[in-house]
Each structure stands twice: as C-alpha cells, then as structure tokens.
Amino acid sequence: MDAKNENAVFCRGESMLPLFRPGDRILFEPCRIEGLRRGDVIIFNAPGQEERVVHRVITKDSAGIRTKGDANLSRDSWEIRQKDIIGRAVCVERGDRTISVAGGLTGHFVARVLGLLRKLDHRSSWVLHPVYHCLSRRGIARIFVPVSMAPRIITLTRQNGTERQLLMGKKVIGRCLPGETAWRIRRPFRLFVDERMLP
C-alpha cells in the first residue's frame, strides 16, 4: 500500500481480493485498538514490512491483534499493537464508485465465506490445473479475442521500481511487480495471453 494522504492508501497487492483490487483507493479513519472488532479491516505497519498492510482482524486479546488477508490461506505471523495501527478501513473508491467496507460481525462472515471459497478453489485446482495450462499453451482461446480486447502492457513507476500491468480492455488481468521477472496472470485470462510475447 502506498500513502496518498493522511486518510487514504492505494492498494497494490492482492491479499484482500476481491474486497480490494490493485489500484483501489482505500479510505480509513483513525481508531483505537479497544474499539476494534473481529472482522474489521485495518491499515497498519507490520513488523519487518516496509509498506503499510491492509488486512482483516481475526482475533483480538490482551496480547494484541492477529490479522489475515481475505485471499490468503493462512493468518499473518505478526501480532499488532496500538502503536502499529494507522486506522480502520471505511470505504474503497474504485473508478467512479465508492463502496463501504463491512467490519465487525458482517465483515467476519464475509471473510469466512471467502475463505471457504478460496480453500475449495485451492483443493480443486490440482485437478483442473494441468488442463488449464495445456489449453493456455495451445492458445486455442486466443483466436476468439477481438482486436480491441487484445492484451496490452502498461508500465507504472513505483517507489521500489517499475511495475508492469497486463490489460484486456480496462481490466487488469496480470502484473509483474518491481524486482520480479515472473508474471502473475489471473485465471482464466492466461487462456488469452501468449506468455512467450511478454517481456
């Protein structure tokens, strides 16, 4: 996450998909640890991390707060204390829309459902993974992509280097993060991309 001003950060990672997408602007309000509930989404400085992290509260006790990204399979290893907390996410701006961020019991329920779906997807992928990669290598689906929707690459300058994004129309379907050489392409879009042509 990159700071834009005192009460907003831009999402860069994918650990909170589908709630937050890279490029979203997340608005937050200052908060005290006593007022946080399981299910709230908080912005904080994680021990050993250079960038701010935006994850969901999964437990809270006298030792501190434990967090987890909605898209992650396991919880974070760190414990968060008041000095680490920057604020609680209240809404996200995506394009011309503003979407409220559910916290508390509703947020906890949403996170549980997303977690179950993620585990189901993870467990079923071992069967579908070989078929998916075979189809993407053969390029059969690429012939159905209209010229106006052909994948294209844009380059963005970040604090820690250059990020490349792969777009189809206005949708970001993949990215190559600063310092990395491998592309991360969202399913099912690998079917429409000739990876041999990517820088």
Tens-place pLDDT, residues 142-180: 888 888 888 999 998 877 788 899 999 888 888 898 888
3-state secondary structure of 33: helix
Long-range contacts of 139-142 (CB under 8 A, 24+ apart): 139/194, 140/191, 141/191, 141/192, 142/191, 142/192, 142/193, 142/194
3-state secondary structure of 165: strand
pTM score, two decimals?
0.67
DSSP code of 149? G
Q: What is the pLDDT of residues 45-100, one digit of tens each?
A: 998 888 899 999 999 988 889 999 998 888 999 999 999 999 999 999 998 899 99
Distance CA(175)–CA(183), nearest Å, equals 6
DSSP code of 91? E
Bridge partners, residue 168, by sequence: 171
Show the domains of the chain with their CATH numbers.
2-106 (2.10.109.10), 140-197 (no CATH)
User: What average pLDDT does range 16-25 have in this prediction?
Assistant: 89
Question: Do residues 99 and 21 lie in contact, with contact meaning Cβ atoms separated by under 8 Å?
Answer: no
